[in-house]
With several copies, the nearest count.
Chain A
Amino acid sequence: MDGIHDMGGMHGFGPVDPSREQPFSKTEWRARMFCLELSYTQPGGFNVDWLRHVLECIPPDVYLTSDYFDRWYWRDVGVLANVGWVSIDELASGVATSRPQDVGDPLPPEAVSVMLEQGLDSRRDVADPPAFKPGDRVRAKFHSPLGATRLPRYVRGHVGVIEQYHGWHVLPDANAVGDERPEPLYSVGFLAQDLWSDAAAPGDKVFPCLWESYLERE
């Protein structure tokens, strides 16, 4: 999706402020929002690609004017409202008027260490060989569906070189909508001077991770 989230290379944002830090404690709303996301029962089960896509669907002006963890709020209430588990009235009042059926018990505190230990992994155990090998020249496709994708706009149409092969990973475009379709994943190196008219140095490179179907042989 050609959304506001796809901001790699966008002009117009000012200097980075390295000194900015935000507090993190049990009474801070940002900390609670971040950890709420890891704790609540999600409809259909946790799917990081769907969550990311819902975040991308926040209106562009809201996206640019909301705090980072407030965008997580908008994402999560979107995920919940989409299936009817919460309503606008309930979100405004904080008072439940209905309760979803057959959702089991919520995640207990004891489950945290297992989640922390294991995390989730988009990699799948597929033995088939990848189409490209390090050193191969590839072109990123003009691929911008109205839906989830993780092909950044700044490399579309550009030629890069396969740097590293990372095994087979589920394709976000399909996984976001519940279709698990693993593909070979590569780090691909692009010369900054090919990507940007105003790139400063001749040897500098940018390496996004690209799934095989995002690429064609050059």
Chain B
Amino acid sequence: MKVPKETKKIMELEKELHSHLPSDPALRVKALESLLVEKGLLNSATIDRWIEVFSDEVGPKNGARVVAKAWSDEAFKKHLMADARKAVDELGFPRLEANNLVVVENTPKRHNVVVCTLCSCYPWAIMGLPPTWYRSFEYRSRVVRDPRGVLREFGLELDDDVEVRVWDSNADVRYMVLPERPPDSEGLNEAELAALVSRDAMVGTAKVTTTEQGN
């Protein structure tokens, strides 16, 4: 089917739709689902299945395993930094929204942080759904301009001599931050290390410590 694609027409249409439909999004979404099912365009069981996937099967635990392995296995880390997608394939993780994965490494003198200023792109298959704050206008607008100020709001204070690198996921490249391994974590195995790695640490808005639980 050839779809007409005129920006001005879509702008008018969006205005019209908004001015005619009720305000409660929960009601509108429910009506949309019923309508699409009736029209043969949607199977509600497929929605249920996706919700299961994002509740149980993909999430920041995937990324935490990647981080823990990179900390524990120098050859894997080298592979990960050179070609993150292939390295992550080894762990059997899916590829949805992570086909062009790039891992950026934090060091004592360099801190990385990830955003999508234009919408909220995020490596779903490796990290799950983006946090609510990641999708907020506050984060999207401010972290490219005042990263140190934003990180302070997360309780993360960076020294002046640390270089901050902000990665904008405005294309289909998806970023994951490889945080610094906490200094007092020598005795831990991969599973124990993975349990320390929070979602926020892989976006770059937190550090990993041995006293904190991953989420």
Contacts and interface: CB of A to CB of B under 8 A. Distances in A.
A–B contact at 8 Å CB threshold (below): yes
A83 B1 contact: yes
Contacts of A77: 17, 21, 32
B88 to A, nearest CB: 12
A40 B18 contact: no
Place the interface of chain B in its size category. Answer: 35 or more
A131 interface: no
A128 interface: no
B146 to A, nearest CB: 7
Contacts of B32: 36, 73, 76-77, 91, 94
Interface stretch (B68-76, B129-137, B184-192): B129-137
A134 interface: no
A207 B40 contact: no
Contact of B138 (A15, A50, A86): A15
Contacts of A66: 25
A14 B55 contact: no
Interface residues of A, number: 121
A191 B33 CA distance: 46
Given A7-B117, A32-B33, A164-B102, A16 B139 contact: yes
B14 A74 contact: yes
A208 B97 CA distance: 17
Contacts of A60: 137
A37 B21 CA distance: 19
Contact of A100 (B16, B20, B39): B39
A124 to B, nearest CB: 11
A178 B166 CA distance: 31
A43 B150 CA distance: 32
Nearest to A66: B25
Contact of B148 (A96, A118, A201): A201
B25 A67 contact: yes
B167 A109 contact: no
Contacts of B165: 189, 204-207
Contact of B170 (A1, A16, A178, A208): A208
A39 B30 CA distance: 15
Interface string A55-87: 101111010101111100110111001110110
Given A52-B119, A123-B172, A150-B171, A94 B47 contact: no
A39 B46 contact: yes
Contacts of B141: 7-13
**Interface of chain A: mostly helix, strand, loop or mixed:** loop
B28 A117 contact: no
Nearest to A38: B50
B112 to A, nearest CB: 9
B204 to A, nearest CB: 12
B172 A121 contact: yes
A18 to B, nearest CB: 5
B10 A57 contact: yes
B31 interface: yes
Contacts of B35: 86, 90-91, 94-96
26 contacts: A8-B168, A11-B11, A16-B154, A21-B131, A26-B48, A29-B26, A35-B54, A39-B47, A55-B119, A73-B25, A74-B18, A83-B4, A85-B39, A91-B31, A95-B34, A105-B40, A106-B46, A107-B43, A118-B95, A166-B173, A192-B145, A203-B163, A205-B165, A208-B171, A209-B170, A210-B171
Q: Closest 9 A-B residue pairs measured CB to CB?
A: A8-B117, A94-B31, A209-B171, A35-B50, A44-B3, A119-B96, A109-B49, A29-B26, A122-B172
Interface of B: 1-5, 7-18, 20-22, 25-26, 28-43, 45-51, 53-55, 57-58, 94-100, 102, 115, 117-120, 125, 129, 131-133, 135-150, 153-155, 160, 163-173, 200, 205
Given A8-B115, A169-B172, A192-B164, 17 more contacts: A9-B144, A16-B143, A18-B133, A35-B51, A59-B11, A99-B38, A108-B43, A109-B43, A119-B96, A169-B171, A176-B5, A185-B171, A192-B145, A195-B144, A203-B164, A205-B165, A208-B170
